[in-house]
Chains A and B, each alone.
Chain A
Amino acid sequence: MEISPILISLKTATVATFFTFIFGVIAAKLVLDIKSERIKAVLDTVFTIPLVLPPTVIGFLLLLIFGVKRPIGRFLLEFMGIRIIFSWQATVIAAFVIAFPLMYRTAKGAFEQVDENLILAARTLGMSEMKIFFKILLPLASPGVLGGVILSFARALGEFGATAMIAGNIENKTRTLPLAIYSEVAAGNMNQAAYYVIVVLAISFVVILLMNYFSRKQITKGN
Chain B
Amino acid sequence: MGLEVGIRKRLKGFSLDVSFKNQGLHLGIFGASGSGKSMTLKCIAGIIDPDEGRIVLNDKVLFDSERNINIKPQKRNIGYLFQNYALFPHLTVEDNITISLNGKKEDIKPKLEEMIKLFKLEGLERKYPKQLSGGQQQRVALARAIIKNPDILVLDEPFSALDSHLKESLEVELFELLKTYNKEVVLVTHNREEVYKFCDYMVFLDEGKSIINENTKEIFNSPKYYSVSKLLGYNNISEIQYLTNNTLKATKWGISYKIETKLNDEFSFIALRDNELILNNVPISHGEIVIEVAVLDVIESINHYDLLVKNASFIQGDSISLKVDKNTIENINFKENLFLHIANEAIVYLK
Contacts and interface: CB of A to CB of B under 8 A. Distances in A.
A53 B172 CA distance: 63
Interface in A105-130: 115, 117-118, 120-128
B74 A123 contact: yes
Interface string B78-107: 111010101011100000000110000000
Contact of A125 (B90, B100, B129): B100
Given A126-B148, A135-B99, A222-B128, A120 B75 contact: no
A136 B74 contact: no
Contacts of A120: 42, 45, 47, 73, 82, 86
Nearest to A218: B90
A223 B90 contact: no
B88 A136 contact: yes
Given A123-B47, A126-B74, A127-B100, A117 B88 contact: no
Contacts of B148: 125-126
A117 B82 contact: yes
Contact of B90 (A121, A124, A126, A139): A139
Interface string B238-278: 00000000000000000000000000000000000000000
Contacts of B88: 118, 121-122, 136, 140
B144 interface: yes
Interface residues of B, number: 29
A140 B100 CA distance: 17
B179 interface: no
Given A221-B90, A222-B89, A124 B128 contact: no
Contacts of B144: 125
B86 A127 contact: no
Contact of B130 (A118, A127, A222): A222
Given A117-B84, A124-B47, A222 B131 contact: yes
Given A118-B86, A139-B90, A127 B74 contact: yes
Contacts, number: 65
Interface in A164-223: 218, 221-223
Interface residues of A, number: 20
B86 A126 contact: no
Contacts of B76: 124
B191 interface: no
Nearest to B84: A117
Nearest to B78: A124
Nearest to A222: B128
Contacts of A118: 86, 88
Nearest to A223: B130
B70 interface: no
Nearest to B102: A131
B86 A121 contact: yes
A221 B129 CA distance: 10
A124 B89 contact: no
B100 A126 contact: yes
Given A124-B45, A125-B99, A125-B144, A117 B86 contact: yes
A121 B89 contact: no
Contacts of A135: 99
Given A123-B73, A127-B100, A222 B129 contact: yes
A115 B145 CA distance: 18
A113 B131 CA distance: 22
Contacts of B42: 120
Contact of B82 (A121, A126, A127, A136): A121
A126 B75 contact: yes
The 6 closest A-B CB pairs, nearest first, are A222-B128, A125-B100, A121-B86, A124-B80, A123-B73, A222-B130
Interface of B: 42, 45-47, 72-80, 82, 84, 86, 88-90, 99-100, 127-131, 144-145, 148
22 contacts: A117-B84, A118-B88, A120-B42, A120-B45, A120-B47, A120-B82, A120-B86, A123-B74, A124-B46, A124-B47, A124-B73, A124-B74, A124-B76, A124-B79, A126-B100, A126-B148, A127-B100, A136-B88, A140-B90, A222-B128, A222-B129, A222-B130
Given A123-B73, A124-B74, 12 more contacts: A117-B82, A117-B86, A121-B82, A121-B86, A122-B88, A124-B73, A124-B79, A124-B145, A126-B77, A127-B74, A222-B89, A222-B131
